[in-house]
Amino acid sequence: MKLKILLVDDEKDLLNILSFYLKKEGYDIEEAANGLEAFEKTQTWHPNLIISDIQMPLCNGLQLLEMVRTLPPPPIPFLFISGYAGSDLMASTQLKEIQHFISKPFKIKILLDKVKSLSSSPLDIAVGH
């Protein structure tokens, strides 16, 4: 079965090029422009992995993580991508729990490798709890 990845970013161009690469790798991709949309898609589509930006309008990546954690198991691993390194937000305790983080800008190979390692060791990837 194809691994289902939900891509969340408010940057349309970034979503396009990311999904282009991930689809080429053979993953099943869905896109969401913000946290709220992503949460709805999580509930209906049940992705195996969520790759999300942190700063987004309406509902940011961290709020999305909180909401997804309230869903019944299995827990969905998160991979965060953000260009807002070094900010107050990054210092928040919540963010310290995040194990998988790539800061923008990044090489696509780094993201693909990370996705590959996350999908091959599903036990490792549970975030939090």
Does residue 21 contact residue 112 with C-beta atoms inside 8 Å? yes
Joined tokens for residue 20: 């282009």
User: Closer to another protein at the Cβ: 72 or 105?
Assistant: 105
Provide CB contacts within 8 A for 127, sequence distance 6+: 65, 75, 77, 78, 97, 98, 99, 100
The CA-to-CA distance between both ends of the chain, in Å, stands at 27
Q: Which listed range, 37-45, 69-77, 86-94, 116-124, lies at the site for another protein (CB under 8 A)?
A: 86-94
Provide CB contacts within 8 A for 100, sequence distance 6+: 77, 78, 79, 80, 114, 118, 125, 127
Strand pairing class (78-82; 28-32) = unpaired
Nearest distance from C-beta of residue 109 to another protein, angstroms? 8
Please work out the total of residues on this chain that contact another protein, with binding judged by CB under 8 A.
28
Q: Which of 55, 75, 95, 99 binds another protein (CB under 8 A)?
A: 55
Q: Which of 23, 106, 116, 124 binds another protein (CB under 8 A)?
A: 106
Q: Interface with another protein includes 129 (CB under 8 A)?
A: no
Q: Interface with another protein includes 107 (CB under 8 A)?
A: yes
Nearest distance from C-beta of residue 105 to another protein, angstroms? 4
What is the contact surface with another protein in residues (CB under 8 A)? 10-11, 13-14, 17-18, 20-21, 55, 57-58, 60, 81-89, 103-109
